[in-house]
Structure 1
Amino acid sequence: MHLDTANIVGLTGSALMVVAFAYSNLAKVMNLVLFNLLNLIGAIMLGASLLVHFNVASFALEIVWAVIALFGLGKALIARKRT
């Protein structure tokens, strides 16, 4: 594997998503804004790297992942405003 910019961006995005997953399993109290933001940024970074090294299945997954994270982020921000 050649460690070009696209791979570095993709690996960083993957790391953010793994951090979010670990956080969701280890945190005593979930901060849903943080959780969804990490997932959204990670999915965007992975999606960007896939534009260089394209894989349709992975790209489709990242689109769905980003949409769900965006929805969750919006829901968490609305809930935060209410409190």
Structure 2
Amino acid sequence: MNHDVLQILGALTVLAGYVAAQLGWTTPRSVGYLTANILGAGALAWLAWTSRDWGFLLLEGVWSAVSAFALITILRARRAPDPTPS
């Protein structure tokens, strides 16, 4: 796939999550929002790596990593047993 096309798709993926959150369709802690950030920022980070664009790699790599950490935290909390007695 062409680098320009992948850049646009990555940016649109991140922006779609952001717009959805701003319009109240989702929240910044939702699985969909975080997944969009991981995929979009991850693609942009990979492109930054291949073009040796270190500042952009830092931005998108951290954006993707923080989103992945938040998603893992949310998914683990969902699987944790309910601490309240029945």
Whether TM exceeds 0.5 here: the answer is: yes
TM-score by length of 1: 0.80
Match of 1:57 among 52, 55, 58: 55
In the alignment, structure 1 residue 80 sits paired with structure 2 residue 78 = yes
Shift of 1:51: 3.0
In the alignment, structure 1 residue 10 sits paired with structure 2 residue 1 = no
Match of 2:16 among 16, 19, 33: 19
Query: How many residues are matched?
Result: 80
* Counterpart contact for 1:11–1:46, Cα < 8 Å: no
Q: Which runs of 4+ in 1 moved over 6 A?
A: none
Unaligned runs of 5+ in 2: none
Cα distance per residue 1:14-60 (max 9 Å; x no partner): 00000011111112553611111000000111112223433211111
Amino acid corresponding to residue 18 of structure 2 in structure 1: F
Larger relative helix fraction: 1
Give the fraction of aligned pairs with identical amino acids, expressed as a percent.
Answer: 20
CA distance in 2, matches of 1:10, 1:55: 13
Which range moved further: 36-45 or 20-29?
Answer: 20-29
Amino acid corresponding to residue 49 of structure 1 in structure 2: L
Relative distance call for 1:29 and 1:22 in structure 2 (3 A) is: closer
- Over the residues paired in the alignment, what is the CA RMSD in angstroms? 2.0
TM-score by length of 2: 0.78
Relative distance call for 1:66 and 1:29 in structure 2 (3 A) is: closer
